[in-house]
Chain A
C-alpha cells in the first residue's frame, strides 16, 4: 500500500500539465491542416499539399474569415494552386486558382455535348443499329451496302 500512494501522487502530478496545457497557435493550425486532409470532399483532399503550406502560414482565430492562397506548385501535369477560406479554425471553402488543362484532370468528370438530332445520308462502309431481324435486314442500309459489295 505504501508503494501505491507515491505512484498515485506521481500520476496526479503527471496529469496537472495535461490539464494546464493550452494548444499554441502553431499547433492549432497544424490541427487545421489535418482536418483539411481528412475532409471527405474531393476538392479538399486533392488540394491538401497546397493547403498545408497555406495552413501553417495562417493564424486563425475564432469566427473570423480568412482567405489564403496556396503557393503555386508545378506538377508533371501542370501548375496547381488552391485558395482556402478559413472560418475560425475550420476550412469553409477550397477553390482551384490554377489547374492543369490535362485530360487526367479535365476528363475526371465526363463532359457530354448536347446536340439536336439530325438526319443525314453519307457515304459509309457499314451501319450500326439495334439488332435487326432477317426480315428487316432486307430493307436496311447494310443490305444495300452488302449488295453493292457483292
Chain B
C-alpha cells in the first residue's frame, strides 16, 4: 500500500522495540492484504486459490467490515468493482493502524500520536490535529482538538479520482475532502471513504452514524460540519 508512518510516543520507558513491533505489524499487513502483491492472501483469494473457509480470521474480519459498509452505503462503497481486482485497502488501512495503536496501548503507552499517511490515532491528549486544506498543501482548513480517538480524511488531492462510487462505477467527485472523527480509526477511515464515495449525500450519511463527527468540503468549496466536530480553540 505504501504510505509514510509517523509515530510520536511521549511516555517514558517505551523502548524502540515497541515501535519495531508496530512497524513489523504494518509490513505484515501489507504482505498479507495488499492487492498489488500477487502472493498476498487477498490476491490468492481473489484468484480462487483460497476459499472463504481457508481465510485467516483477520481477512475474514476485514471482508465482513467491507460488506457492512457496502450495505450501509447502498453499494456506493464496494471493494469488488466490476472488472477490477478485489481491493479492501480502504478498510485494511484504518483497521490495521487501529490495531497498531492498540499494540502501543498494550505495551503501556498512554500518550502518543500515530499518523499513517494522514490517518491519525491519538491517545492521552489534548492534541491539536490540523486538517490539510483541500487546495493548498501547506495550509489547514481546520484544527481539531482530540484527546483519545481517531480522525481520517478522504480527498481527491493526493491520488486523484481514485475513489469510485460503486453505484455508478464512476469516480466520486462531489466532495473535495471529508474528515471523520470517531473512537477508532477502523470506523473513522471506512466512514470517510464510504461517505466520499457517496458524494454530498455521504456527508449527511456519515453525520448520522453514531459516534462520528464530520467536516466536509464540497465541490463548491462549502464546508459542512457536525455541531460536535471538535474544532480547537485558537492557539493561546
Contacts and interface: CB of A to CB of B under 8 A. Distances in A.
A121 to B, nearest CB: 6
Nearest to A115: B223
B158 A125 contact: no
A105 interface: no
Contacts of B127: 125-126
A136 interface: yes
A125 B125 CA distance: 10
B119 A128 contact: yes
Interface in A115-150: 115-134, 136-137, 139-143, 145-146, 149
Given A124-B143, A149-B8, A130 B130 contact: no
Given A112-B204, A116-B223, A128-B153, 7 more contacts: A113-B225, A126-B113, A127-B131, A128-B118, A129-B153, A130-B177, A132-B4
18 contacts: A111-B226, A112-B203, A112-B214, A113-B224, A113-B226, A113-B227, A117-B134, A119-B140, A120-B143, A122-B232, A124-B128, A124-B129, A125-B8, A129-B153, A132-B158, A134-B3, A141-B138, A145-B6
Interface of B: 2-4, 6, 8, 93, 113, 115, 117-120, 122, 127-143, 151-159, 177, 179, 203-204, 207-208, 214, 217, 221-227, 232, 234-235
